[in-house]
Amino acid sequence: MKKLCLLLLALVLCLPAFAEESAEIALVPAGTFSDYADFEDDCARVIDTNGQYLEGVFDIQGNELIPCAYGSLEEYGECSYYTVQNENGVNKAGALNAAGELVIPMEYGDIDFLSERWALGVKLEETDSDDYDYEAFLGDEHYIVTAYDVYDLAAGSMVGSLTRQQLNNANAYGDYLYIEDRSGTISIYDETLAVVGATDSFYDCYASSDEGVISLSTGEVVVPGYSYYDDIGNGLLTVRNDSYDIGAVDLAGNIVIPFGEYDQIYEYDANGYARVVKGDLYGMVDSQGNLVVPCEYDGFEMLNYGGDYVYGLNGYAYVEKAGKYGYVSLATGEVTCPVNYAQHTVIGLSMIVPDITGELYIIAADGTATPTTYAEFAPYPGGDGMLLKAGNAEGMWGLVDWHGNVLLDFAYSYNSAMRIAPDGSAVLAETEDGMAGYTVTRPGLAAMETATPETAEAAAPETAQAPEAEEAPAAETDSSSDSGADTLDAIQDLIGLLG
């Protein structure tokens, strides 16, 4: 047994050479920042400070996008708008656009962004009444709203003001605002803040009529001949025909997803993919209504990406069948990583799977399975799961890719010393002088999206799992290398013997 263990160790130690030859992902040095620097919540822009601790916005190369001129700066939307404040106290906050232009003056107690176009500037005053709207984060002060100023962010101007009684809740639908007052009445306001209608529906701007689907904002029939079912995003509505079959149409009435093709069509995610159901099984369609994953699965799991949760991510979807999980390609609809894993931690496009000895494997969405000697992986590293924060037995942390290649050495005593941009396109890492920025290059991404099921199956040998046998991870290697293939075969055999 000792000989077998030693041989296995020797074979594993050979693997990094093969991994280095086929590495798709690399870090390229970029800008340098202070130790305060961090990414925005939804993109690779960096919020940093100057020597006076005033905040600004930079790209990963260190180029200043918004000057460091604000005591507090917080982002809204995908690199779209920022709430800023320079003085302590009430009614001192305003808003910038992505170019750093002040679109809401710094004279409000709160900025409530309703959409990329609409925002509310909220005026506050302190109150002793129990009927208050805000309370201090630190302290016992309470505040009441005195006015809601309505801003058209695209125009950079205030279009009007509403009283506290006039506004209790607000939703934006394109050019229109649906505003519920404190008596529960919902009024529809146009872009001049004139009331143009009323509705009972605060969370929907379409409805059915005798003529077809109408816009509640304008009263016009937008899709004649059908009954309204749901607004699924991506410019599409689900509607029913006279036979009560469900389909999806655009706002011009063009059929995008045929009637009766599916029993249910769900809302699109931020990346333009929607789940569909046929019988009891799920599939996925793209933004054009094309079926990209067949209806063969019990479900799809959402993946955290770019400050949102999505079903389709960088060419893959994470699927579930009979309580086990794997990945499929959105380019081909084929399985890229066998749907055989039950006991695992999913990190975007990677799964962390223990074998029967507790050794951790990285299972990539493309089917590559890599054994590791690491003690743990950070469960929420950021990005799409192609970059992973790994901790070794000595308690030190480094950055590896989804195939196990080391990108940043294990020189960090805590995993937050490395920060991955929400979209996975950049990295910040602590240094003695602050933070070092890196861009992430992925030249092999297009090729990885078209991995075949045969390749994926070959990468994952069996291992003993009670009560059922599951596909276990195997080492990564260069597929063009015969010696690499021999190494994989030997490791697969040895895993079986040692199990």
How far is Cα 265 from Cα 234, in angstroms, rounded to an integer? 13
Do the Cβ atoms of 359 and 372 come closer than 8 Å?
yes
| 167 burial level (CB within 10 Å; 0-12, 13-18, 19+) | buried
**Neighbour order of strands in the sheet with 387-391:** 376-377, 387-391, 397-401, 406-412
Name residue 419's beta-bridge partners: 428
Q: What is the CA radius of gyration of the chain?
A: 27
How many other CB atoms sit within 10 Å of the CB of residue 165? 10
Do the Cβ atoms of 389 and 378 come closer than 8 Å?
yes
Would you give per-residue pLDDT tens digits along the chain (499 residues)?
Answer: 333 333 333 333 333 323 333 447 999 999 999 999 999 998 999 999 999 999 999 999 999 999 999 999 999 876 689 999 999 999 999 999 999 999 999 999 999 999 999 999 999 999 999 999 999 988 889 999 999 999 999 888 999 999 999 999 999 999 999 999 999 999 999 999 999 999 998 899 999 999 999 999 999 999 999 999 999 999 999 999 999 999 999 999 999 999 999 999 999 999 999 999 999 999 999 999 999 999 999 999 999 888 789 999 999 999 999 999 999 999 999 999 999 999 899 999 999 999 999 999 999 999 999 999 999 999 999 999 999 999 999 999 999 999 999 999 999 999 999 999 999 999 999 999 999 999 999 875 533 333 333 333 333 433 323 223 333 333 333 333 333 333 333 333 333 323 3
Do the Cβ atoms of 54 and 73 come closer than 8 Å?
no
Q: Where are the beta strands (DSSP E) in 322-433?
A: 324-329, 335-341, 345-347, 350-354, 360-364, 369-371, 376-377, 387-391, 397-401, 406-412, 418-420, 426-431
Helix (H, G, I), strand (E, B), or coil: what is residue 100? coil
Q: What is the pLDDT of residue 24?
A: 79
Q: What is the pLDDT of residue 363?
A: 97
Q: Which pairing describes strands 376-377 and 345-347: parallel, antiparallel, or unpaired?
A: unpaired
Name residue 439's beta-bridge partners: 28, 426
CATH 3.40.50.300 fits 71-203, yes or no: no
Q: What is the pLDDT of residue 156?
A: 86
pTM of the model: 0.82
How far is Cα 8 from Cα 392, in angstroms, rounded to an integer? 20
Helix (H, G, I), strand (E, B), or coil: what is residue 478? coil
Closest CA to 65 of 80, 86, 53: 80
Rounded to 10°, the helix 2-21/482-498 angle is 150
How far is Cα 367 from Cα 474, in angstroms, rounded to an integer? 10
For the chain, domain boundaries:
71-203
Q: What is the pLDDT of residue 407?
A: 97
How far is Cα 363 from Cα 353, in angstroms, rounded to an integer? 7
How far is Cα 131 from Cα 123, in angstroms, rounded to an integer? 16
Contacts of 413 (CB under 8 A, 6+ apart): 395, 396, 397
Joined together, the tokens standing for residue 167 give: 């506004």
How far is Cα 478 from Cα 467, in angstroms, rounded to an integer? 33
Contacts of 248 (CB under 8 A, 6+ apart): 232, 236, 237, 238, 239, 255, 256, 257, 265, 289
